[in-house]
Amino acid sequence: MRRPAYPIAVLVVALATFAACRRDAPAPAETGLATPVVAPVVDTALVRAIREQARDVDVQGRGRVSKLLPDDNDGSRHQRFVLRLDDGGTVLVAHNIDVAPRIAGLAIGDEVEFRGEYVWNAKGGVVHWTHRDPRGAHVGGWLRHAGRAYD
């Protein structure tokens, strides 16, 4: 006795329906079932300041230390280092160590977050005012490294 084709046809239709539903299903991040990938923080003020070769613009961002430089000891002392930004550009950070603590143990490859004032130059620009203003007249900045704030 020959079996009817009905169960096979039902199975084929069920598989086709399942495949179509999976293709149209929302991505895991849309359903809340998975942790979404966090995009890097991009400060549009920083991007715009670099593109427009601006001066004296308050910015915030982060980067990885690509070069450690000697302190600048002319006038107020500044700890200096170069950060490579997520977009591949670089900025020099000039952190006033007469007003705020030095970042101890800073090494190439370390991540540093910053808030300060950007001044464009042909090498990528400088971020300074990465500390509070002792006179209270200027917007305060900060640096964060290894879970510690420096301001």
pLDDT tens string 68-102: 999 999 999 999 999 999 888 899 999 999 999 99
Instruction: Judge whether 142 lies within some domain.
Output: yes
- pLDDT for res 8: 46
Q: Would 20 be classed as within a structural domain? A: no
The residues with which 9 forms a beta bridge, in sequence order, are none
Query: Nearest CA to 110 among 142, 69, 77, 81?
Result: 81
For the residues 14-34, what does the mean pLDDT come to? Answer: 42
Taking the C-alpha atoms of residue 35 and residue 6, their distance in angstroms, rounded to an integer, is 43
% of residues, the chain, pLDDT over 90: 56
For the cut 60, the answer to whether the pLDDT of residue 37 exceeds it is no
Task: Specify if 71 maps to a domain.
Answer: yes
Burial 131-145 (b: 16+ CB within 10 A, else e): bbeeeeeeebbbbbb
Position 22 pLDDT exceeds 80: no
* Domain that includes residue 70, residue range: 44-150
**pTM (2 d.p.):** 0.70
Measured between alpha carbons, how far is 118 from 56 in angstroms, rounded to an integer?
6
CATH number at residue 144: 2.40.50.200
Domain total in the chain: 1
129 in a domain, yes or no? Answer: yes
Q: Is 9 within a domain?
A: no
